[in-house]
Amino acid sequence: MSESKVSVAPSERTVIGITFGNSNSSIACTVDDKAEVIANEDGDRQIPTILSYVDGDEYYGQQAKAFLVRNPKNTVAYFKDFLGKDFAAVDPTHNHASAHPEDADGTVAFTVQEKEEGEPSKLSVSEVTTRYLRRLIDAASEYLGKKVTSAVMTVPTNFNDKQKAALLAAAAAANLEVLQLINEPVAAALAYDARAEAEVQDKIVVVADLGGTRSDVAVVASRGGMYTILSTVHDYDFHGAALDKVLIDHFAKEFIKKHQVDPRENARSLAKLKAEAEGTKKALSLSTNASFSVESLANGIDFTSSINRLRYETIARSTFEGFTRLVDSAVKKAGLDALDIDEVILSGGTSHTPRIATNLGYLFPQTTKILAPATTPAAINPSELNARGAALQASLIQEYEAEDIDQSTHAAVTTVSHITNAIGVISLNEAGEEVFVPVVAPETAVPARRTVHVAAPKDGGDVLVKIVEGNTHIKVTKPEPKVKDESKTAKVEDADEEDGDDSDFDDDEEEEEEKREKVWKIGSTLAEAAIRGVKKGGKVEVTILVDANLAVTVTTREVGAKAGVRGTLSA
């Protein structure tokens, strides 16, 4: 693997953010500290990650995608996921209708008729990537009116070192300085947190990145502007292409019924079906009805039909449920409960689908914000989150020398160690019971310092401050059992059965839901400090510092007083 690296002096840089996806890519820049996704010369902000060679010319993006119908053999699509992988390890499922991946000394290559005449060329996946990145850089340079030199790029959280090295080498060959590779879920979280109206507060966020050929879910703790990834789930079965397939099968069956021909059996007909199914699917994200129309679908027969959203949601139900399960499993993997989640960020093109967002609403309590176009009108376009985050990060770090960025521990990018339990103080509530007041939230990245003020007793005097660990558990309160009218209940059940309604989303008025709430449990005591003779109405300031080795230093002093008590506990 080439070690070559492009290095540009900070003053010479023009930076952008790049998301290089298996289905689509995006480029973004910042204008007055705000991220903006750049439209290429075709006006596209989601640029299909596809290159096509026709009559000696190279096409990319939407124009190349159109050639999947007429020139599939010389069209290279879905290649990003092969970068840095051995040929033996790749899954060619998505490449049946375009150039096929081939073995090139153990790595992946594609053979295409690149020149108008002569022998076809065998292009390595690295070469294809370099050529594609050049097109993105050119589009961004044209838009900005100056040559783009450098970028922050996003990568999935399971991108390994070999894949990263291959991406960096491909970018270097395109003469691009990669300032940093950042994780996609962190980029998405950053895009939201960088908005002027955003309050930076400690929160636990689920980022569900639902793309065209894969879905990635990450649970991220955001603490004081630092992001820590708590768990990740990756899936290659539930994605946008699976939803396209549902529609392809639906309309193919309708066509067979009318014309006794299966259009899926002919490669060109299937490519037409796929292109139209994707368009219909996208239309169903915006309206409740969409048409489906293909000229000369099979045997020269034109086909026109339509589908409403309800029907679509019924036939795609098991796929939609798959997305919900992925999110649920990521939360469980992080050892958390739905109640712990403050926000769910829906990212990736498939997240435009209204049903996916509403289904997630049922998984979480009402207090959890579901950030998707269907549930939150102010949500950021899910297709733009990663590129925006990358552009924001690029503008933050562009002034650093390359070596300094390498060592940088900038908040947005580091996955640092973090504490598991909360650390806080014991305080007395109105009933005189001991309660836990969290000072440093669980999953806070270290080092971290937090300060609280604890009120002294009304008349002043000695104050004992107890520093303890705390963790949450879910308290379930069952509803009070109601006195039932047996005969009535039986009737209702019968009626339900006759109805044959198996909807999960029906409100059952008869059944009151149990109450689930998050409560603090006091854990082990870390330190106790006595502050003597605090003034009447005085306050004690408690500062907790957790260093990078997880050692805890507690300093307590009366507010306004100089002397204090300080103690350090090792991890």
Report the interface residues with ligand ATP, using CB under 6 A.
Answer: 21-24, 46, 211-214, 239-241, 278, 281-282, 285, 348-350, 352-353, 383
Q: In angstroms, give the least distance from the CB of 361 to ligand ATP.
A: 18
Name residue, tokens 């003034």: 535
> CB-side exposure of 114: number of CA atoms within 13 Å?
12
**Largest Cα–Cα distance of the chain, in whole Å?**
95
Residue reference for tokens 């599939």? 72
In the complex, least distance from residue 155 CB atom to ligand ATP, rounded to whole angstroms:
11
> Considering only CA atoms, which of 98, 69, 96, 101 is closest in space to residue 83?
101
**281 or 309: whose CB is closer to ligand ATP?**
281
Cβ closer to ligand ATP: 17 or 348? 348
Q: Taking Cα atoms as reference points, which of 104, 126, 158 lies closest to residue 1?
A: 126
Minimum separation from the CB atom of position 421 to ligand ATP (A):
36
Q: What length does the chain have?
A: 571
Smallest gap from residue 278 Cβ to ligand ATP (A): 5
Least gap, CB of 254 to ligand ATP (angstroms): 21
Could you give the CA distance from residue 454 to residue 463 in angstroms, rounded to a whole number?
A: 9
| Smallest distance from ligand ATP to CB 136, Å | 13
Q: Are 164 and 155 in contact (CB under 8 A)?
A: yes
CB neighbour class for 360 (10 Å; exposed up to 12, middle 13-18, buried from 19): buried
Structure tokens at 46: 């989601």
Read off the tokens for 532: 């003597």
Residue 356 in contact with residue 347, Cβ under 8 Å? Answer: no
Nearer to ligand ATP, 84 or 211 (CB): 211
Of the candidates 549, 545, 390, the residue with the CA atom closest to the CA atom of residue 452: 545
Of 386 and 398, the one with the shorter C-beta distance to ligand ATP is 386
137 vs 356 by CB, closer to ligand ATP: 356
- Determine the Cα angle at 376 with ends 374 and 378, to 5°: 120
User: Do the Cβ atoms of 229 and 220 come closer than 8 Å?
Assistant: yes
Q: Which of 182, 256, 205 is nearest to 405 (CA)?
A: 182
- Burial classification of residue 436, based on how many CB atoms lie within 10 Å of its CB (0-12 exposed, 13-18 middle, 19 or more buried): buried
Residue 247 Cβ, how far from ligand ATP at the closest point, in Å? 10
With b for 16 or more beta-carbon neighbours within 10 A and e for fewer, the 287-314 pattern comes to eeebebebeebbeeeebebebebeebbe
- For residue 278, the tally of other CB atoms under 10 A from its CB is 20
Amino acid making up residue 328: D
Please state the closest distance from residue 50 (CB atom) to ligand ATP, in A. 11
Task: Please identify, using beta-carbon distances, which residue of 280 and 472 lies nearer to ligand ATP.
Answer: 280
Q: Which residues, 6 or more positions from 438, have their beta carbon under 8 angstroms from its beta carbon?
A: 422, 423, 424, 470, 520
Say whether 171 sits in a helix, a strand or coil: helix
Report the phi/psi class of residue 153: left, alpha or beta, with left for phi > 0 and alpha for psi in -120 to 50: beta
CB of 348 to ligand ATP, least distance (A): 4
Task: For residue 455, give Cα distances in angstroms to 544, 546, 557.
Answer: 17, 23, 12
Q: How near is the Cβ of 445 to ligand ATP at its closest, in Å?
A: 27
Min dist CB 523 to ligand ATP, Å, is 41
**Nearer to ligand ATP among residue 241 and residue 412 (C-beta):** 241
Residue 347 C-beta: closest distance to ligand ATP, Å: 7
CA distance 154 to 523: 39
Q: What's the closest the beta carbon of residue 531 comes to ligand ATP, in angstroms?
A: 55
Tell me how far apart the alpha carbons of residues 130 and 126 are, in angstroms, rounded to a whole number: 6
Q: Which is nearer to ligand ATP, 22 or 107 (CB)?
A: 22
